[in-house]
Structure 1
Amino acid sequence: MDQSTLSPTMIEAQALSKHFDTEAGRVDLFTGIDLVVTRGESLAVIGRSGAGKSTLLSLLAGLDTPSSGSVSIDGHRIETLDDRQRADLRARKISFIFQSFHLLPELTALDNVRLPLEIRGAENPKHDARQWLDEVGLGERTDHYPSQLSGGEQQRVAIARAFATRPSLLFADEPTGNLDEETGRTIIDQLFRLNAQQGTTLILITHDSELAMRCQRRLRLHNGALTEV
């Protein structure tokens, strides 16, 4: 599709609510959240632990279903899709970077990046994976397993894996949370450099004020409400 015909909206959430039923009664995590994220925007969601940031990310990514309200990703209403269709939408349009890296321990760095490319049907996944590891400075570590890599190196593999499929939308949940300050800054620089190169829509969940300030827009989730910072 011609880029000029694409809607400027990548994500739209309307009256989004999530609650849990516990033995002590119903717990409302958040209620009535409205959110529009434009194509190519970088957005940080901040807030204290337990505020529901990761749950919100799961809802926006179609990994979880809201108690009420709706989420649309690039014009696709999540609640109208079955599990297979949601998985297909994520495979085609979305990538993730997590605090705990989520690399497959039995695969080398190269194969961790290659696997999603193969799933997407890339013409030369091994070549592309190697190029992306070069891009994040790990060209000499392609045959190493996650257990042989430092935390910063593992996160760089995760970044290469996330961008290799050229996603329209990238979710990052505390991407520097397990890293020291200096390594975290390096990861942040690489993340935003690649984001600018590809024009990916970026949604970050973070406690890191420096990371949040790098985003074009910042929202705080507090007491069940999402407000501009």
Structure 2
Amino acid sequence: MLTPEPRSVLIATDLAKTFPDERGGLNIFNHINIRADAGESVAIIGPSGAGKSTLLSILAGLDEPSEGTIELLGQPLTGLDEASRAELRANHISFVFQSFQLLPELSALDNVQLALEIQGHPNPAQQAGYWLDRVGLSHRHQHTPARLSGGEQQRVAIARAFATEPSLLFADEPTGNLDEKTGTEIIEQLFELNRQLNTTLILITHDASLAQRCQRRLYLHNGTLQEQ
């Protein structure tokens, strides 16, 4: 019996990014190709300034490549207008950032609930509470980010990311602002939830030991991306 081919969640082909400057253009990378299948974890590693976060922004449709194409779940992402890209992101993509990216005036519950409301979830408050409980913050629903520790803020961000049940999760240096012990706990939780939901994970990091947790590792350096 033939084993079915894995479903490709993300396919990027011949990506290039050039920023204009006084000398005619600063080339960040060229001929980048990435494929990530359902449930797969992929680390993109490389030195600071290599363009990892720029690549993430392009893969997520937050920025456009100078050349190349991106498909998300079989749908073309490149060439869409911003409203269409935003709709695809809302329905299929979540993020966990180094800086947490929580709205400071909202409670933990409201930060998670807002993402669900944008997606059109029928019971956003109930679902937001469920996910906060799931990441160990049952006693912090009404706390604003200023009243939470760094680790707790990142747990809210993780709850928000998984509450919408995304097909694809981008994590950009998710432990960068945390101490080692807290960072380890956050990563354990991130990978466990990712496994349970079978989410495709693309992890941006400079931490080689963290990258080893992923099934595949891609090294971005001098404008090229090579599989390790």
| TM-score in terms of structure 2 length | 0.96
Work out whether residues 105 and 147 of structure 1, in 8 Å CA contact, stay in contact via their aligned partners in 2.
yes
- Residue 183 of structure 1 and its aligned partner are, at CA, apart by 0.3
- Residue 25 of structure 1 and its aligned partner are, at CA, apart by 3.7
- Residue 32 of structure 1 and its aligned partner are, at CA, apart by 0.8
CA distance in 1 between counterparts of 2:12 and 2:150 reads 34
Q: Deviations over 1:147-186 (max 9, x none)?
A: 0001110000000000000000000110000000000000
Unaligned residue ranges in structure 2 (runs of 5+): none
Aligned amino acid, residue 72 of structure 1: E
CA distance in 1 between counterparts of 2:34 and 2:128 reads 34
Give yes or no for the alignment of 1:188 onto 2:169: no
Give yes or no for the alignment of 1:147 onto 2:141: no
| Partner in structure 1 of residue 49 of structure 2 | 50
Change (3 A) 1:74 1:6: farther
Aligned amino acid, residue 173 of structure 1: D
- Residue 77 of structure 1 and its aligned partner are, at CA, apart by 1.1
Length, aligned pairs only: 226
Which deviates more from structure 2 when the two are superposed, residues 100-109 or residues 116-125? 116-125
CA distance in 2 between counterparts of 1:122 and 1:35 reads 31
Work out whether residues 10 and 39 of structure 1, in 8 Å CA contact, stay in contact via their aligned partners in 2.
yes
Work out whether residues 17 and 29 of structure 1, in 8 Å CA contact, stay in contact via their aligned partners in 2.
yes
- Residue 7 of structure 1 and its aligned partner are, at CA, apart by 6.6
Aligned partner of residue 78 in structure 2, secondary structure? helix
CA distance in 1 between counterparts of 2:52 and 2:61 reads 14
- Residue 92 of structure 1 and its aligned partner are, at CA, apart by 0.5
1:161-180 matches, cutoff 5 A = 161-180=160-179
- Residue 122 of structure 1 and its aligned partner are, at CA, apart by 1.5
CA distance in 1 between counterparts of 2:77 and 2:118 reads 22
| Partner in structure 1 of residue 17 of structure 2 | 18
- Residue 78 of structure 1 and its aligned partner are, at CA, apart by 1.5
Work out whether residues 7 and 74 of structure 1, in 8 Å CA contact, stay in contact via their aligned partners in 2.
no
| Partner in structure 2 of residue 218 of structure 1 | 217
| Partner in structure 2 of residue 108 of structure 1 | 107
The runs of at least 4 aligned residues of structure 1 exceeding 4 Å deviation read none
- Residue 24 of structure 1 and its aligned partner are, at CA, apart by 3.8
What's the C-alpha RMSD, in Å, of the aligned pairs?
Answer: 1.5
The percentage of counterpart residues that share the same residue type is 62
- Residue 27 of structure 1 and its aligned partner are, at CA, apart by 1.2
| Partner in structure 1 of residue 26 of structure 2 | 27
CA distance in 2 between counterparts of 1:215 and 1:171 reads 13
CA distance in 2 between counterparts of 1:45 and 1:224 reads 13
| Partner in structure 1 of residue 118 of structure 2 | 119
Unaligned residue ranges in structure 1 (runs of 5+): none
